[in-house]
Amino acid sequence: MRFHTIAATAMVALAGTTAAGPIGYGICQAGCSAVVVACYSAAGFTFGTVAAAAAPAAIAACNTAYGTCQAACAAVLLSPTL
C-alpha cells in the first residue's frame, strides 16, 4: 500500500501544468455570447438580426464589446492552467 502512495505522489509532483485552454475558451465564449445577447436586448434588438450598415450606435457598442471579449478569450485558449 505504501508503494502506491509514493508512486501516486511522485506522478502528481512530476505532472507539471496541463493546458485546459479549450475548456476555458468555451466557457469564455459562452460568457461573451450571453453578454452580447443581453446588450442587444437592452438596446431593444435581437442579436443576429441587425445588419451592420443599419446598426445604431448602441448596437455598434455591443459589437465592439463583443469583439473585445472574444479577443480576451484567445488569451484564455493559449494560457496553461494548473
pLDDT tens, residue by residue, 22-79: 888 888 899 999 999 999 999 999 998 888 788 899 999 999 999 999 998 888 777 7
Q: Is the dihedral of CA 67, 71, 72, 77 positive or negative?
A: positive
The C-alpha cell at 16 is 507539471
What does the pLDDT look like over 9-29, one tens digit per residue? 555 555 555 555 688 888 889
Across-strand partners of 18?
81
